[in-house]
Amino acid sequence: MIERPVTAKDRIILALDVDNLKEAENLVKDLKDYVGYFKVGLPLIVNYGFEAFRLLEEHGAKCYYDCKFHDIPHTVQKACISLVKNNVNFFNVHIQGGSKMTSAVVRASRAAAKSMGIEPPTILGVTLLSSFGQKTLTTELCVDKNIEDFVLQLAKVAKDTGLDGVVASAEEAKRIRKEIGEDFIILCPATRPTWSSVNDQVRVDTPRDAIMAGVDFMVVGRPITTADDPIGAANLIIDEIETAMEDKKVLC
């Protein structure tokens, strides 16, 4: 498993949501000392496949693969085995794929790691996309629960089936942390400092919100990657996290 974050920098996962490998490389070179991980998602994978992972390896940067696998158990477990064999040790799957799928993923990924003599991967469960609000959940997915209850139920499925943690908003993280405990990774997928816009996200949180709610990792993208001074923007977010961490110590 990956190490739990200690410093403010370690908690930041920078989203490489670009479709050009050179642009991704420039971001990695410039920011690898200011963030803990780089998130690889669909834009890079569709265009470059495993080259995106090799790029991070070459620069000594750590990867979080935001694959969001959601398919029948056999298909997803085969895909996850391939990730493990390619040294991708931090990724996610959709909990809404069901307990059979998540259980199969955990078993197969751990078995693959054991056969290779390496540490098992850290696998998170995606609860509900940050672009979803209550209206979408109710009217389109026909789920007769409020978002917090729905996400908590999915988090319990994740825990019961062996996943290492979940992807959820800070607001939802409060109940997850309270009911599931400290030994469970929570990653906030849509973190926006107070000085940035929310873009196409609906359920967003500030770095302070995330820390106070007990979140371990937070994904930050455009507030850093599109800033005139990306390093300066990253440092502002690090300062905000450090302040929140100190305040939380006082409150506890």
Residue 240 in tokens:
């905000």
Residue 134 CA to residue 132 CA, distance in Å, equals 7
Domain ranges of the chain: 9-251
The pLDDT, as a whole number, for residue 197 is 57
Residue 115 CA to residue 117 CA, distance in Å, equals 6
- pTM here is 0.94
Residue 108: name the closest of 86, 72, 79, 67 by CA.
79
Percentage of residues in the chain with pLDDT exceeding 90?
Answer: 88
Average pLDDT of the chain to the nearest whole number: 94
Contact 63, 88 (CB under 8 A): yes
Per residue in 115-151, pLDDT (tens digit) is 999 999 999 999 999 889 999 999 999 999 999 999 9
Contact 152, 145 (CB under 8 A): no
> Average pLDDT in the 179-190 region?
94
| Domain spanning 9-251: CATH superfamily | Aldolase class I (3.20.20.70)
Residue 6 in tokens:
């200690």
Which residues, including other chains, have CB under 8 Å from residue 174's CB and lie 6 or more apart? 213, 214
Question: What's the pLDDT band for 179 if we cut at 50, 70, 90?
Answer: very high
The pLDDT, as a whole number, for residue 194 is 79
The pLDDT, as a whole number, for residue 1 is 84
CA–CA distances in Å: residue 25 to residues 17, 37, 41, 139, 225:
12, 14, 15, 41, 12
Per residue in 230-241, pLDDT (tens digit) is 999 999 999 999
Q: Which residues are catalytic?
A: 68
Per residue in 8-64, pLDDT (tens digit) is 999 999 999 898 999 999 999 999 999 999 999 999 999 999 999 999 999 999 999
> Average pLDDT in the 214-222 region?
96
